[in-house]
C-alpha cells in the first residue's frame, strides 16, 4: 500500500514538472498550411546539436576543411545539393566551406507554410536556451519540421535575409463538422417562408423566394430576414450562414476572431476559418485545403440560399479577390 502511494506521488510530481514546463514554454498557436519551398540563401543559423560539425572544401563533401562550433553563428550562401555552401566564424575572421544540410535541417523533406497567431520568440537551437529573434504574425514563415515535444524548426524573414531557428508551437484546434453537416445538409436551403417564424437553425427544402440574391437588401432586410433569407448576427445569405456555422463550431462570433487581410495567409487557412472573398462578394467557412484548392461549406453560391458542402475555390482565386480572413479560436 505504502509503495503504491509513493509510486503515485512520484508520478504526480513528474506530471507537475512536465505540466509546468508546458506552461512556461508559452507555445504559440500555429496554423499549418500547404507544402512550400523556402529560400535558404542568406539564412543565418546555428548547427543542430552540441557537437562540432565537419566542413568540406567542396560540395562533394570529400576533403575536410574545418569545423563549425555548436555556438557559431553561420550563414547559408548556397543551398543546393546535400552539402550547402556556408560561412562561419573562425579565430582569424570567417571561412567559407560546405557542410551537410542534415546538420542544419532537422527534417530535410518537410517544409510547410505556417502562420503564427501571435508574435513568437525564436530560439537559436532546439534546447531553447538562447533567443535568436522574433517571428511576426505578418511574416511569411515556413515550418521545417513537424512539431515534436512542443517545438518546431522554422525559417522566417529578417531585414537582411532569413533566420533558421526554433519556436514553441502548438497546432490550431481542428474543427469537427459532423453536427453541422447533419443540421445543414447539401441540397437544402438556408431560408424560410417570408413572414413566418424562423431561427438561424431553420432550413427549407425549397429554394429561397427572395428576389434580391444579387444584392440590394436594405439594412432592415438584413436585420429581420423578412424577405425569406435567414439572418444571423445581422447578416443574411452567404455571410449570415458562414457566421452561423462558425458560431456553431466554436461558440464565439466570427466577427470577434483574429482578422487578417494578408493574401499570403490564404496558404495557411485551416478547417473552420472564415473567408470573405470574390472582392467582398462571397463568404464561406473553410473545411479543408490542399496545395491547389480551398474547400468550403457555403450558402447562396446558387443565388437561392442553397447550402453546399465541398465547394472548391483555387488558392489563387481566393488570394486575388480576398477581403478578409477570420482565424477560428
Ligand atoms: Zn435567400
Ligand atoms: Zn433576401
pLDDT of the residue at 221:
65
The answer to whether residue 45 scores a pLDDT higher than 90 is yes
Q: Quote the ligand 1 centre to 223 CA distance (angstroms).
A: 13
Measured distance CA(67)–CA(78) in Å, rounded: 18
Pairing, β 43-45 against β 161-171: parallel
Distance 216 CA to ligand 2 centre (A): 9
Lowest average pLDDT, out of 46-60, 130-144, 192-206, 224-238, goes to 224-238
CA distance 132 to 73: 10
The answer on 222 and 101 residing in a single domain is no
Q: How far is the CA of 253 from the centre of ligand 1 (A)?
A: 22
Ligand nearest to the CA of 238: 1
Using DSSP, state whether 258 is helix, strand or coil: strand
Q: Which ligand is located closest to the Cα atom of residue 302? A: 1
Residues 160 and 218 occupy one common structural domain: no
Q: Residue 17: inside a domain, yes or no? A: no
Q: Are residues 47 and 146 in the same domain?
A: yes
Ligand 1 midpoint to CA 246 (Å): 19
What's the rounded mean pLDDT across residues 103-128?
Answer: 97
158 belongs to a structural domain: yes
pLDDT (mean) for 178-186: 98
- pLDDT number for residue 23: 45
Q: Establish if 10 belongs to a structural domain.
A: no
Looking at the CA of 307, which ligand is closest? Answer: 1
Question: Could you tell me if 159 and 282 lie in one domain?
Answer: no
> 212, 260, 257, 211: which is closest to 233 by C-alpha?
257
pLDDT in tens, 297-326: 999 999 999 999 999 999 999 999 999 999
Residues 182 and 66 in one domain: no
Ligand nearest to the CA of 226: 2
Q: How far is the CA of 260 from the centre of ligand 2 (A)?
A: 28
Domain-embedded: residue 2: no
Residues 183 and 162 occupy one common structural domain? no
Whole-number CA gyration radius for the chain: 26
The CA 222 to ligand 2 mean position distance, Å, reads: 8
Is there a domain that residue 48 lies in? yes
When pLDDT is cut at 50, 70 and 90, the band that residue 215 belongs to is confident
Domain shared by 212 and 227, yes or no: yes
- Residues 159 and 195 both lie in one domain: no
Q: For residue 190, how far is its CA from the centre of ligand 1 (angstroms)?
A: 7
Note whether 168 and 182 are same-domain residues. no
Is residue 194 predicted with pLDDT exceeding 50? yes
Answer whether 156's CB lies under 8 Å from 163's CB.
yes
- Ranking 69-78, 146-155, 220-229 by mean pLDDT, the lowest is 220-229
Looking at residue 150, its pLDDT comes to: 97
Contacts of 140 (CB under 8 A, 6+ apart): 113, 156, 157, 264
- pLDDT one-digit tens code per residue, 55-87: 999 999 999 999 999 999 999 999 999 999 999
* Whether residue 33 is found in the same domain as residue 163: yes
Compute the average pLDDT of residues 131-137: 97
- Does residue 115 form part of some domain? yes
Ligand in nearest proximity to the CA of 225:
2
Assess whether 213 and 77 both reside in one domain: no
Please report whether residue 94 resides in a domain: yes
31 or 223, greater pLDDT: 31
- What range defines the domain where residue 81 resides? 27-172
- Do residues 187 and 306 both lie within one domain? yes
* CA 320 / ligand 2 centre spacing (Å): 28
- Count Cβ neighbours within 10 Å for each residue of 82-119 and write b for 16 or more, e otherwise: ebbbbebeeeeeebebbbbbebbbbeeeebbbbbbeee
Ligand 2: centre distance to CA 191 (Å): 9
Domain boundary among 107, 137, 172: 172
> How far, in Å, is the centroid of ligand 1 from the Cα of 277?
19
- pLDDT above 90 as % of the chain: 85
Last residue of a domain, one of 172, 191, 208: 172
What's the whole-number average pLDDT of the chain?
A: 92
How many structural domains are present in the chain? 2
What pLDDT score was predicted for residue 195? 86
In a domain, 22, yes or no: no
| Final residue of a structural domain among 172, 199, 233 | 172
Amino acid at each position: 500500500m505504502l509503495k503504491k502511494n509513493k509510486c503515485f506521488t512520484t508520478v504526480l510530481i513528474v506530471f507537475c514538472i512536465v505540466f509546468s514546463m508546458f506552461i512556461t514554454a508559452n507555445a504559440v498557436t500555429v496554423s499549418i498550411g500547404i507544402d512550400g519551398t523556402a529560400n535558404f540563401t542568406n539564412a543565418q543559423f546555428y548547427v543542430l546539436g552540441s557537437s562540432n560539425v565537419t566542413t568540406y572544401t567542396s560540395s562533394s563533401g570529400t576533403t575536410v576543411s574545418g569545423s563549425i562550433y555548436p555556438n557559431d553563428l553561420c550563414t547559408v550562401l548556397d543551398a543546393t545539393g546535400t552539402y550547402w555552401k556556408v560561412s562561419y566564424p573562425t579565430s582569424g575572421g570567417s571561412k567559407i566551406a560546405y557542410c551537410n544540410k542534415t546538420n542544419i535541417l532537422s527534417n530535410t523533406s518537410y517544409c510547410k507554410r505556417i502562420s503564427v497567431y501571435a508574435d513568437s520568440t525564436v530560439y537559436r537551437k532546439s534546447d531553447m536556451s538562447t533567443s535568436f529573434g522574433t517571428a511576426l504574425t505578418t511574416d511569411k514563415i515556413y515550418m521545417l519540421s513537424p512539431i515534436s515535444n512542443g517545438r518546431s524548426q522554422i525559417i522566417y524573414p529578417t531585414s537582411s535575409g532569413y533566420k533558421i531557428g526554433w519556436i514553441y508551437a502548438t497546432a490550431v484546434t481542428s474543427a469537427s463538422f459532423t453536427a453541422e453537416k447533419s443540421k445543414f445538409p447539401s441540397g437544402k436551403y438556408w431560408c424560410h417562408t417570408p413572414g413566418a417564424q424562423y431561427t438561424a437553425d431553420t432550413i427549407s427544402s425549397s429554394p429561397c423566394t427572395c428576389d434580391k440574391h444579387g444584392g440590394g437588401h436594405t439594412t432592415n432586410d438584413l436585420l429581420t430576414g423578412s424577405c425569406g433569407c435567414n439572418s444571423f448576427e445581422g447578416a443574411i445569405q452567404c455571410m449570415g450562414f458562414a457566421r452561423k456555422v462558425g458560431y456553431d463550431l466554436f461558440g464565439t462570433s466570427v466577427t470577434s476572431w483574429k482578422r487578417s487581410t494578408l493574401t499570403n495567409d490564404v496558404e495557411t487557412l485551416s478547417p473552420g476559418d472564415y473567408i470573405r472573398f470574390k472582392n467582398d462578394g462571397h463568404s464561406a467557412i473553410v473545411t479543408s485545403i490542399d496545395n491547389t484548392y480551398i474547400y468550403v461549406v457555403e450558402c447562396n453560391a446558387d443565388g437561392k440560399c442553397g447550402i453546399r458542402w465541398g465547394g472548391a475555390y483555387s488558392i489563387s482565386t481566393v488570394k486575388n479577390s480576398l477581403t478578409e480572413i477570420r482565424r477560428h479560436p
